[in-house]
Amino acid sequence: MALVSADTRIAELLTELHQLIKQTQEERSRSEHNLLNIQKTHERMQTENKTSPYYRTKLRGLYTTAKADAEAECSILRHALDKIAEIKSLLEERRIAARMAGVYNDSDPPRKTMRRGVLMTLLQQSAMTLPLWIGKPGESPPPLCGAIPASSDYVAKQGDKVAARVKAVDGDEQWILAEVVSYSHSTNKYEVDDIDEEGKERHTLSRRRIIPLPQWKANPETDPEALFSKDQLVLALYPQTTCFYRALIHTPPPRPQDDYSVLFEDTSYADGYSPPLNVAQRYVVACKENKKK
Amino acid sequence: MAEQPRLQQGPPGAAGSGSGSSDPARPGLSQQQWASQKKAQVRAFPRAKKLEKLGVFSACKANDACKCNGWKNPHPPTATRMELQQQTASLSEACRSCGHALAEHVSHLENVSEDEINRLLGMVVDVENLFMSVHKEEDTDTKQVYFYLFKLLRKCILQMGRPVVEGPLGSPPFEKPNIEQGVLNFVQYKFSHLAPKERQTMYELSKMFLLCLNYWKLETPSQFRQRAQKEDGSAYKVDYTRWLCYCHVPQSNDSLPRYETCQVFGRSLLKSIFTVTRRQLLEKFRVEKDKLPPEKRTLILTHFPKFLSMLEEEIYGENSPIWDADFTMPASEGGQLGPQSVLSPVTVSGSPLRKGPSVDPATSEPIAGEKRKLPEALTLEDAKRIRVMGDIPMELVNEVMMTITDPAAMLGPETSLLSANAARDETARLEERRGIIEFHVIGNSLSQKSNQKILMWLVGLQNVFSHQLPRMPKEYITRLVFDPKHKTLALIKDGRVIGGICFRMFPTQGFTEIVFCAVTSNEQVKGYGTHLMNHLKEYHIKHNILYFLTYADEYAIGYFKKQGFTKDIKVPKTRYLGYIKDYEGATLMECELNPRIPYTELSHIIKRQKEIIKKLIERKQSQIRKVYPGLTCFKEGVRQIPVESIPGIRETGWKPSAKEKNKELKDPDLLYNILKNLLAQIKVRANTFMSRSDSTRLLLKKSEAPDYYEIIRFPIDLKTMTERLKNRYYVTKKLFIADLQRVITNCREYNPPDSEYCRCASTLEKFFYFKLKESGLIDK
């Protein structure tokens, strides 16, 4: 039942989103008209070569309208973004529900494991569709936007992706990409699942072994301070794997949709670092330990 | 006409014409237009003016002693606009050099027809143009040719002859098969398995490529020598000169007979120019992509790069069949022969064609194309009908094909993004089509200097291999990658090597050894490995080697299994022993190739077939529309019923296969008795030698050995089989034989191969297969 209602809700949301997009276009055409007026007024003023009070009042009016238009458009766009976020969270809820059902239902035949390539594509898509944080003027980016860490008392929700430090079979410690199953407030421990279906394992880990992944991308054009800077030590997901490794930032993303370029610590290269590789904002987190292994 | 010669490549006209032609596949023929305008202008002159113009190129005939070869105006024109401002010279005007009147120079033209005069005037315009070209041209080789043509045309005007380029150049066609034939063969060879629509796309691409080539400006011999140092510069120079005389200059100079580049040249010219031309073409399309009409844009941007890469392989590949004079598709592809037979007569015509400025690819295409489409569709359908006789009607299949290829029927990006069951190599295939990745077979050579790019790629391969295969000594990798007998299929992305398969072909032994195979770590699990191996398979099919052998280490076995390799080696040991590099602790694996499979497209084809089947089932279901209650007989204890007795199954069109009917024994009691008899004999036989070797337990009963169940996953013994038989478990002979075989396999798996147990198992195996045959349960 719950699944069905989620479906209808998503369909509703999509319809609303569709309408919002149409509205945006209307809003935009309107403001364009006004902007054109502003431009024309400026041109006319130029030819007359003086600023008469008439023009001053006219311009003030025009600019006020333009600002109002822009704000209206902006609010519709934000509204649309909220809809998208809502759709995404519904999908996420459904996914978690389906997963739980899968876990507790032993009578079903074992689920077919995903092909690794598919998992990698999913991870890339999840990085690509991570929402970009768009603040209001003067607002500073919140925790979990780009490089800004979560607050110390933050508890990751069920289904959130995290970097988790686990003991591998050979006893080595390793940072893996994992998904939160639950958090116990009494023991302060997380239960997480390895994202990799091949090594399907559940780990119980203390808080300090968990680093939540960013939930927004930071925009380099407006919030560069929310990005890691060149030469900063980070943990980054090695391309086409599900493990985080220590790396130095080579270049931060130049544009919102771009990736970091990082140099992984890799002793098999003469200088100890891999050539620059691209890693999405979603999969780069701060590295706490600064001592070299 | 400030057309920059040869610095900025591109179809002529794109550089400086005012035609505004935006489609690079449609050259604006500016120089040509200009020349013909000029000619029209000159031909409209009054006769006196014409004579004056011709006089300039006509020898003085006043007396034998006069050696003057052209009348020179005593009042030299000022630089500007001579035709318009100058007065026509009178026939009595004296020549500035010999002093004889103009009339003396043009006396031979008195009784000549207007047509001939006009023809000569055309040559005069062309000579004047050539004269300009000679002056403007900076490249020495080109200048020389222009000058030669200039002299040739002058002589022709003087003698009222027709220009013929003579000398060591030979006459067209210079090579057979010509480029056009080769490229069309290529389309036939590579794409005939595609659906008609896609094949048509490829055909259009090939046409476009040929057209571009016909109007492409070749690089000068000196540029060529600079770029391709190892190749033969003198051969290229000859080709270049031929091209100037027969193809390029005649484009704007219709006094000379004109030939199409793709009609008169063959593989050798294409070899010399392909790499550069390809780069320039793609660059040009990239730059001008916004000007392309949208329907062409996808065609060019997504399919063209891949098309060119595939063509490149055929151009440079040693044994490419597309250049055979008698190229035909293999007989097995009989269904695709239709277009071939229709195409060939069109393409072999070697006569100079399509003169004048009216050449427009878009309009000239359908003349040949339309003729072709109809018979192609017909022959294809005919052939298909023969191949799948008695099956689903072709119209239905076509209809279904239309629905699954209809882009509008797709459900948006979501499905393609989350294609959890997409084929492993789907992404790689798409990337190759878009030109994101490229595949090249490369190798080092000691006899000729390898070009810089190849050497860089080999170094790149060596790095990838040594990084990904840390247990191989780097020196060893280097030695093999650079060994001229080894070749490597390189995977290139953004100009850099990201993976490859190093292999050594043993044509005399009929197999190829896979030596190294790796993809750089950050590009893994993208299907590149699979696509690499598929390309390697196709490469080998072309070279008639149908077996791969490789020693796979423990990490590689999984990969090779996915690529169709098995541990079951069919190549006789004598053929590979001493040839292949043997590695300790590695497993020898083999892959047999089927020359009829287009490997790089295989998963795509299968996906299509599945879709078709699914659609056909859906159709059938909607036609039948009858629901039967489920079967209950199994709950009541019935073990098996004949398939045909299931209600409704016959209505679906299912028929019991004739083969199965005869083979399977209908009477369950009869089967039971036969099997009972057989098992008894086997048990007796087993007991005789088992008691001797004191190993009864292993074969007859599950062993009490503690680790037995860890090693043996499916325990079975003769006693259990006896019980199963009693319980009527063996309703088919298949089940019985499978269990019997399992007894033997388990024994072999658990015991060392040279043990007494295994020897017994082998004896027993022989015995029961003999008995099975004897009782008619299996074929002899």
- Confidence band for B778, pLDDT divided at 50, 70 and 90: confident
What is the SS3 assignment for B618-642?
HHHHHHHCCCCCCCCCCCCCCCCCC
Instruction: Reply yes or no: is the peptide bond before residue B173 cis, omega within 30 of 0.
Output: yes
Return the pLDDT at B231. Answer: 67
Rounded CA separation B283/B8 (Å): 11
**For testing contact with chain A, the best of B411, B414, B417 (most A CBs within 10 A):** B417
Closest CA to B501 of B568, B570, B591: B591
Whether B618 shows a pLDDT value over 80: the answer reads yes
Q: Are B285 and B302 in contact (CB under 8 A)?
A: no
Nearest to residue A162, comparing CAs of A228, A237, A87, A227? Answer: A237
Segment B737-749, tens digit of pLDDT: 888 888 888 878 7
Cα A95 from Cα A92, distance rounded (Å): 5
- The conformational region for residue B314 under phi > 0 = left, psi -120 to 50 = alpha, else beta, is alpha
**According to the model, what pLDDT value does residue B546 have?**
94
Cβ contact A73:A23 at 8 Å: no
> Packing angle between helix B337-347 and helix B179-191, nearest 10 degrees?
170
Distance from the Cα of A174 to chain B's closest Cα (Å) equals: 18
Q: For position B102, what pLDDT does the model report?
A: 82
What is the reported pLDDT for B150? 87
Q: What is the mean pLDDT of residues B691-719?
A: 59
B601 touches B193 (CB < 8 A): yes
- Would you tell me how many other CB atoms lie within 10 Å of the CB of residue B670? 10
pLDDT at B167: 72
Residue A45 host element (H or E): helix A2-48
Write the burial class of residue B390 (CB in 10 Å: 0-12 exposed, 13-18 middle, 19+ buried). exposed
Instruction: Mark A236-271 as b/e (b = at least 16 C-beta within 10 Å).
Output: bbbbbbbebbbbbbbebbeebeebbbbbbebeeeee
pLDDT tens sequence across B57-72: 888 877 777 777 788 8
Choose the weakest-confidence range: A238-242, B384-388, B588-592. Answer: B384-388
Residue keyed to tokens 């440079």: B316
B432, B531 in Cβ contact below 8 A? yes
Closest CA to A257 of A277, A281, A233, A230: A281
Give the orientation angle of helix B233-242 with respect to helix B140-159, to 10 degrees: 40
| pLDDT bracket for residue B286 (50, 70, 90) | confident
CB nearest A115 (choices: B424, B470, B522) = B424
Please state, in angstroms and as integers, the Cα–Cα distance from residue B427 to each residue in A242, B269, B416, following that order.
20, 35, 11
The pLDDT of residue B413 is 39
Looking at residue B420, its pLDDT comes to 55
pLDDT value at position B18? Answer: 35
B18 is in an annotated binding site: no
**Range scoring the smallest mean pLDDT among A128-137, B366-375, B544-553:** B366-375
Q: Are strands A202-206 and A260-264 parallel, antiparallel or unpaired?
A: unpaired
Q: B73 by DSSP, 3-state: which?
A: coil
pLDDT of residue B405: 63
- Whether A156 and A212 have beta carbons less than 8 Å apart is answered as yes
Give the model confidence (pLDDT) of B7-36 as tens digits.
333 333 333 333 333 333 334 446 777 778
**Can you give the pLDDT at residue B349?**
32
The pLDDT of B583-597, averaged and rounded, is 91
**Phi, psi values for residue A121, rounded to 5°:** -65, -40
pLDDT band at B334 (very low <50, low <70, confident <90, very high): very low
The beta-carbon neighbor of A117 closest among B417, B522, B525 is B525
CA-based nearest residue in chain B for residue A264: B522
- Spell out which residues of chain A touch residue B419, defining contact as CB-CB under 8 Å: 118
Please report, as a single letter, which amino acid is at residue A130.
Answer: L
**Cβ B690 vs Cβ B706: under 8 Å:** no
B151 close to B159: Cβ distance less than 8 angstroms: no
With 50 as the cut, is the pLDDT of residue A293 above it?
no
Lowest-pLDDT range, A43-57, A130-144, B325-339? B325-339
The predicted pLDDT at position B551 comes to 93
Which has more confidence, B324 or A134? A134
φ and ψ at residue A206, rounded to 5 degrees:
-75, 160
* pLDDT 10s digits, B630-652: 788 787 777 777 777 788 777 77
Nearest to B224 by CA among B143, B141, B282: B141
B513 is catalytic: yes
Do B259 and B278 touch, CB atoms closer than 8 A?
Answer: no
Query: Judged by CB atoms within 8 Å, which residues 56-115 of B form the interface with A?
Result: none
Using DSSP, state whether A218 is helix, strand or coil. Answer: coil
pLDDT tens for each residue of B73-121: 777 655 444 444 456 777 777 887 787 888 888 888 877 888 888 888 8
Look at residue B230 in the predicted model and tell me its pLDDT. Answer: 66
Using alpha carbons, select from B30, B14, B31 the residue that is nearest to residue B291. Answer: B14
Above 60 in pLDDT, residue B366?
no
Q: Is the confidence at residue B665, as pLDDT, over 70?
A: no
Contacts of B424 in chain A (CB under 8 A): 115, 117
> What torsion do the CA atoms of A199, A201, A206, A209 make, to the nearest 10 degrees?
10
Residue B287 pLDDT grade (very low, low, confident, very high; cuts 50, 70, 90): confident
- Average pLDDT for B155-183: 82
Q: Which residue is closest to A238 within chain B, CA to CA?
A: B522
Is pLDDT larger for residue A208 or for residue B80? A208
Would the CB atoms of A117 and B470 count as touching at under 8 Å?
Answer: no
Alpha helix locations (H) across B348-393? 361-387
On average, the pLDDT of chain A sits at 87
Q: Is B750 annotated as a binding residue?
A: no
CA distance B73 to B102: 9
Is the pLDDT score of B550 beyond 90?
yes
On the question of pLDDT at B658 being above 70, the answer is no
Q: Do B525 and A277 touch (CB under 8 A)?
A: no
Q: Are strands A202-206 and A189-194 parallel, antiparallel or unpaired?
A: antiparallel
B530 known ligand binder: yes
Instruction: Find the closest chain B residue to A268 by CA distance.
Output: B467
Q: How large is the average pLDDT for residues B525-529?
A: 92
Q: Report the pLDDT value the prediction gives residue B762, as an integer from 0 to 100.
A: 82
pLDDT tens by residue, A101-122: 765 544 444 445 677 888 888 8
End-to-end CA distance of chain B: 84
- Whether B427 and A238 lie within 8 Å, measured CB to CB: no
B401 SS3 class: helix
- Using a CB-CB cut-off of 8 Å, the residues of chain A touching B467 are 268
Alpha carbon distance B741, B716 (integer Å): 10
What is the rounded end-to-end Cα distance, in angstroms, of chain A?
A: 52
From B689, B712, B675, select the one nearest B762 (Cα to Cα). Answer: B689
- Residue whose structure tokens are 């029961």: B768
Task: Using DSSP, state whether A155 is helix, strand or coil.
Answer: coil
Question: Is residue B493 over pLDDT 90?
Answer: yes
The verdict on a CB contact (< 8 Å) between A116 and B525 is: yes
Q: Say if the Cβ atoms of B427 and A122 lie within 8 Å.
A: no
In this prediction, residue B358 carries a pLDDT of 35
Judged by a CB distance cut-off of 8 A, whether residue B658 touches chain A is no
Spatial separation of the C-alpha atoms in residues A275 and A277, rounded to whole Å:
6
Categorize the per-residue pLDDT at B338 as very low, low, confident or very high, splitting at 50, 70 and 90.
very low
User: In chain A, whose CA is at the least distance from the CA of B424?
Assistant: A117
* Mutate which: A18, A113, A121, A198, vs B, most B CBs within 10 A: A121
CB atoms within 10 A of CB B227: 14
Quote the pLDDT of residue B386. 44
Tokens of B200: 């048509």
ipTM score: 0.81
CA B518, CA B586: separation in Å to the nearest integer? 16
| Total CB pairs under 8 A between chain A and B | 34
Tens of pLDDT, residue by residue over B200-246, are 888 888 888 888 888 888 888 888 888 776 667 788 888 888 888 88
Quick: pLDDT tens for A56-102.
888 899 999 999 989 999 999 999 999 999 998 888 888 888 777 76
Residue of A147, A144, A174, A146 whose CA lies nearest to A160? A144
Q: Pick the catalytic residue: B432, B513, B590, B601?
A: B513
**Cis peptide, bond prior to residue B753, ω within 30 of zero:** no
Q: Rounded distance, CA A54 to CA A61, Å?
A: 11
* Helix (H), strand (E), coil (C) string for B119-144: HHHHHHHHHHHHHHHHHHCCCHHHHH
Say whether pLDDT at B380 is over 90. no
In terms of pLDDT, which residue wins out, A206 or B56?
A206
Over residues B576-604, the mean pLDDT reads 91
